[in-house]
């Protein structure tokens, strides 16, 4: 994830205040803590219905998050026993695993986008080491085999909650879900993960955008156990899907509620356009591996070099560079070639000249 808009630091951190925020009548945002300093927190939204609450996203399964959820619910006169169901935007740990823990304890059903089925299948059956295999293969092909080794060991230390992964009760397809008087439209938005969904309440003008559209950072692309051919293409297509909805208030999973889904989608599209141009312009007739390309690009809003990032974020950065290169190859602007175990890229001058 890369912060890409510079705003006043204090204002930027306001959303982390654990006090629940009443977004509108019947919708409360409760930020929950998560490990690591990049994302800071994950927002869970509690939606009132006559017999209790629907949660959108569940949080990261760790005791501090569970305690903060209890405090947040208490502050609005509820408790975890009022939760009737949990709708989860995607199968990343910070959104899904606390939902599983709550379900074990209290029995409410969990719903997740149908496109996450393969990932959940892998996460519930494979050992943590094997789970990172697609990322490791990507890194080896990107010319970063040392990092691939390092990444293989990352998951070991995360937590012992291998069993925090279970199947949901329902796989969500495009549909509408009634939450009291509210009607949520389930909109598949593959890209951040294959089965990511957002929930639109067009009547109230709200978009529960998960990690698909975030106000301050650009979501990582295609970081998941089972990878797809061109996650960036999927992501850009999904941004177009959200852009065709009415302009809605953005209720993201990380960051503050912000006024315009359209404005943020336009910024994200412009960011990726610029990134595609920068990636393309770096290339010449000299073959470069994706890790070398990533090393020539700036990362985060501070323009850090790849070496300044920790191993996990280096992995995301190289993954994103591969995603951009894949789109450029499909567009005919860049050529790829397998040299041994490594894919290298050159600018397709001849093709551009002819077109």
Point out which residues bind Zn ion (CB under 5 A): 94, 211
Q: In terms of Cα–Cα distance, which of 304, 236, 242, 222 is closest to 272?
A: 236
Distance in Å, CB of 89 to Zn ion, minimum = 8
Distance in Å, CB of 81 to Zn ion, minimum = 26
Q: Specify the residue, 148 or 198, whose C-beta has the smaller distance to Zn ion.
A: 198
Distance in Å, CB of 13 to Zn ion, minimum = 17
Distance in Å, CB of 172 to Zn ion, minimum = 17
Q: Specify the residue, 122 or 214, whose C-beta has the smaller distance to Zn ion.
A: 214
Q: Specify the residue, 36 or 174, whose C-beta has the smaller distance to Zn ion.
A: 36
Q: Specify the residue, 211 or 224, whose C-beta has the smaller distance to Zn ion.
A: 211
Q: How far is it, in rounded angstroms, from Cα 188 to Cα 334?
A: 30
Give residue 6's Cα distance to chain centre.
Answer: 20
Q: Specify the residue, 120 or 291, whose C-beta has the smaller distance to Zn ion.
A: 120
Distance in Å, CB of 254 to Zn ion, minimum = 6
Q: Specify the residue, 94 or 333, whose C-beta has the smaller distance to Zn ion.
A: 94
Distance in Å, CB of 100 to Zn ion, minimum = 16
Q: Specify the residue, 188 or 210, whose C-beta has the smaller distance to Zn ion.
A: 210
Distance in Å, CB of 212 to Zn ion, minimum = 10
Q: How far is it, in rounded angstroms, from Cα 232 to Cα 210?
A: 17
């Amino acid at each position: 994830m890369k912060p890409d808009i510079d705003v006043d630091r204090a204002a930027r951190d306001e959303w982390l205040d654990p006090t629940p925020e009443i977004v509108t009548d019947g919708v409360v945002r409760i930020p929950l803590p998560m490990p690591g300093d990049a994302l800071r927190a994950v927002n869970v939204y509690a939606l009132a219905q006559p017999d209790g609450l629907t949660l959108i996203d569940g949080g990261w399964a760790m005791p501090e998050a569970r305690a903060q959820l209890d405090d947040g619910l208490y502050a609005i006169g509820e408790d975890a026993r009022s939760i009737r169901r949990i709708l989860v935007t995607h199968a990343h740990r910070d959104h899904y695993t606390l939902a599983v823990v709550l379900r074990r304890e209290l029995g409410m059903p969990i719903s997740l986008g149908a496109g996450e089925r393969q990932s959940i299948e892998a996460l519930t059956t494979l050992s943590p080491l094997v789970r990172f295999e697609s990322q490791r293969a990507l890194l080896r092909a990107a010319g970063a085999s040392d990092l691939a080794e390092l990444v293989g060991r990352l998951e070991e230390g995360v937590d012992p909650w291998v069993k925090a992964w279970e199947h949901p009760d329902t796989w969500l397809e495009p549909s509408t879900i009634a939450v009291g008087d509210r009607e949520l439209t389930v909109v598949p938005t593959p890209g951040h993960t294959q089965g990511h969904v957002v929930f639109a309440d067009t009547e109230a003008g709200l978009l529960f955008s998960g990690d698909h559209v975030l106000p301050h950072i650009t979501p990582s692309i295609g970081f998941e156990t089972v990878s797809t051919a061109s996650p960036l293409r999927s992501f850009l297509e999904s941004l177009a899907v959200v852009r065709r909805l009415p302009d809605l208030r953005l209720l993201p999973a990380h960051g503050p509620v912000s006024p315009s889904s359209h404005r943020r989608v336009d910024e994200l599209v412009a960011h990726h356009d610029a990134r595609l141009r920068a990636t393309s312009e770096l290339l010449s007739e000299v073959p470069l591996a994706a890790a070398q390309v990533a090393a020539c690009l700036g990362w985060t809003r501070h323009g850090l070099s790849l070496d300044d990032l920790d191993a996990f974020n280096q992995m995301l950065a190289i993954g994103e560079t591969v995603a951009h290169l894949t789109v450029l190859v499909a567009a005919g602007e860049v050529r790829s070639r397998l040299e041994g175990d490594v894919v290298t890229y050159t600018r397709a001058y001849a093709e551009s000249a002819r077109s």
